[in-house]
Structure 1
């Protein structure tokens, strides 16, 4: 009877560090603060305009030359597309010389108008007979 023993493979569970912990440490915490502020501004603009917006986070990881590959630099870039409120529109008329005017140059100007006093409101209701 031959007995062979196979080495038992040790199962090592890889522990993945939470991404939120990285966000709080990157750039001395500035990345987390910036994302929090931009998200708040985005939500406010979306509620105000009723339009969609977005935030994008880009993380670049590069090895440092001459190291064993265990040392890297991490840089981040945050971009956001915040919806804007529409600016109010104005109506102008173009005169014969090509300039803009708030009044229609083809409309005659009415002069001699005066304000008329309004009659006092009746104090007692009238009855219909």
Structure 2
């Protein structure tokens, strides 16, 4: 079995795999760029990341925190989609993307639930 010796760089076990300061800095910049506020808030992205970390069983990613309860409808939809994706992966049906697209065009409101509520296939449970 091939093993990578830890470098003196970084503060986490993953970061210590980098043996180049240039790569370490570029990795940190990528992480900062991806997680920054944009069309989706960094809090929403972080919570989806946490759901995916636990669903994928990545102990490194899980160490960064457990999923939180959604704060609003937009976050609820994003987390529900992440959970559907964890079950269906590349077989995720277009109708789930359609729900997200339609919702993104609607007014944002804490108590708003659209009439086209997400219809899950009968073989998906636990969502």
Normalising by the smaller structure, the TM-score range is under 0.3
Give 1 or 2 for the bigger CA radius of gyration.
1
Of Structure 1 and Structure 2, the greater strand share is in: 1
| TM-score calculated relative to the size of structure 1 | 0.25
| TM-score calculated relative to the size of structure 2 | 0.26
